[in-house]
Every structure is written in C-alpha cells, then in structure tokens.
Amino acid sequence: MITAERKPFEQIRAVTDQFGKVLVVGCNTCVAVCLTGGEKEAEVLASQLRIARGQDGIAGSVETVTVLRQCENEYLDAISEQVKAADLVLSTACSIGPQGIAERFPGVRVAPAMNTNMMAVVKGHHHWAEYCVACGDCGIFNTGGICPIARCAKTLINGPCGGSQGGRCEISPDVECVWQLIHDQLVSLGLEENLRKISGPKKWSSANTGGPRSMKKEGFKP
C-alpha cells in the first residue's frame, strides 16, 4: 500500500487561508488504511480548518467529500459538481489524488494536504515500513526475499557497509540493517553461497531515474 502523512497544520492553513470555499477531499483506500487521509481524517481536518478560520475571521466555507480512490476518474467524476463549485480543492490522498483532480478538472485550484511517504508493508498496529521503491528490476530472489534497494540507506547490493551494528543501521537505531536480515535469512535457508556472489551494477534505467514510467495492457477492451 501507499502511505502518506498530513502536512503540518500551519502549512495547510498558509495555503487554504487564501481561498473562500474550500473542499477537503478524502480518499478511502490506502490513506484510509494508514489512518491519515480517509473520510474520518478529511472531516477532522475540515473541522480544524473551520475553527481556525472562524477564530481568525476568514470568510467562506470548508466542506468535505470522500471518494473510494482519487487515482481513478470514475470516482472523481462522481464529485464533479462539488469540485467545480470550490475555490480550492484540498486533497488528503497521496500525491496521485490531487494530480488526478487537477488533470480531470482543468481550471480548478488543487492543493495537497499530505506528504506521500512510501510503498509500505503493515508491520503492526499503526506501523508501516518501506519495502519497495519500484526500481523496475526486482532481484529479491537472490537476497532471500528481502529488498536491499528499498531497505538499505545506501542501496547496497553486495552486503552490509561498515555501519551495521547489532542488527541496526548506522543512520538510526530505529532502522533495521537489511543486510543483517538478508544474511540471517540466507543462512537459515542454507544459501550461504549467495553471500559470496557479486551482484550488479544495478540497472537503474528501469527505475524512475530512467524517465517517467507508464504501463499499458494490450488486448483488453473497456
């Protein structure tokens, strides 16, 4: 899933205060699961904005509406009237949401209420962690099903740097050393010989650095 976190309230206000009619649009898929931008969170944000704007005497209104997925036009079309009536659409989706709205409704002002974080696994209650950076060239078969591109701070593909200590990464005790995990996994699978194999150089042309990517499936009719 994709995770996103709400921007600091003062940053959101600095944008929204310039507009009269604000429509907060929630997204009920990824950001609802990670409890940051679904229907409930969109309504909470709208209430906070109403109170703050009321205290500061800012005229206008703050309404909310939530769709299942802002990344698909069929859901956006259902809120077309509300979007067009607003002076500003404030999206609580990942960055794909506000971009989707801006593309679907030319002339409408759109702002993100969120910072998009990562493609994540659900590690536990209220805990998500980055497991994929969409490099476009998945090689985790050789690393025991664990990705060093997404999960090593230096994207190392040939083993741990000198900063691996007690299973933790040198950049923070909160970060696991993925090469400790890969090492332990390969040993437990009896694949120690993989540790000695040289990988790479990594093919980055299939990642985002190779240019924006898109995907089309041929042979399917709408």
Partner 1 sequence: MKSGSILEKTLESGAFAVTGELGPPKGADAGVITRKANILKGHVDAVNITDNQTAISRMASMAAAKIALDEGLEPIMQMTCRDRNRLAMQADILGAAALGIRNLLCLTGDHQSFGNHPDAMGVFDLDSVTLIRMVKDMRDVPAFQCGEEITKAPELYIGAAANPYADPFPFRAIRLAKKVDAGIDFCQTQIIFNVDKFDQFMAQCRELGVTERCRILAGVAPLKSAGMAKYMKNRVAGMDVPEEVISRMEGAADAQDEGIQVCVDVIDRVREIEGVAGVHIMAVEWEEAVPEIVSRAGLRPGSARS
Out of 106, 201, 211, 222, name the contact with partner 1 by CB under 8 A.
201
Considering the rule CB under 8 A, would residue 164 count as an interface residue with partner 1?
Answer: yes
Q: Are 149 and 108 within 8 A, CB to CB?
A: no
Residue from 171, 188, 189, 205 binding partner 1 (CB under 8 A): 171
Q: Which is nearer to partner 1, 166 or 212 (CB)?
A: 166
Given candidates 170, 185, 191, 206, which one binds partner 1 under the rule CB under 8 A? 170
Give the per-residue contact string, 173-192, with partner 1 (x = CB under 8 A; - = no): ----x-xx--xx--------
The span of 5-13, 51-59, 61-69, 169-177 binding partner 1 (CB under 8 A) equals 169-177
Per the document, the length of the chain is 222
- Of the pair 18, 158, the CB lying nearest partner 1 is at 158
What are phi and psi for residue 79, nearest 5 degrees? -115, 20
Query: Which 47-86 residues touch partner 1, going by CB under 8 A?
Result: none
The CA distances from residue 1 to 51, 115, 123, in Å, are: 32, 15, 12
Q: Find the binder of partner 1 among 190, 200, 212, 222 (CB under 8 A).
A: 200
Sheet holding 110-112, edge to edge: 61-67, 21-27, 88-91, 110-112
CB of 41 to partner 1, least distance (A): 28
Give the bridge partners for 141, in sequence order. Answer: none
| C-alpha angle 112-118-124 in degrees, rounded to nearest 5 | 115
Q: How far is the CB of 172 from partner 1 (least distance, A)?
A: 8
Selected from 166, 190, 211, 222, the binder of partner 1 by CB under 8 A is 166
Torsion of CA 174, 92, 116, 98, to 10 degrees: 180
Count of CA atoms in the C-beta half-sphere (13 A) of 81: 1
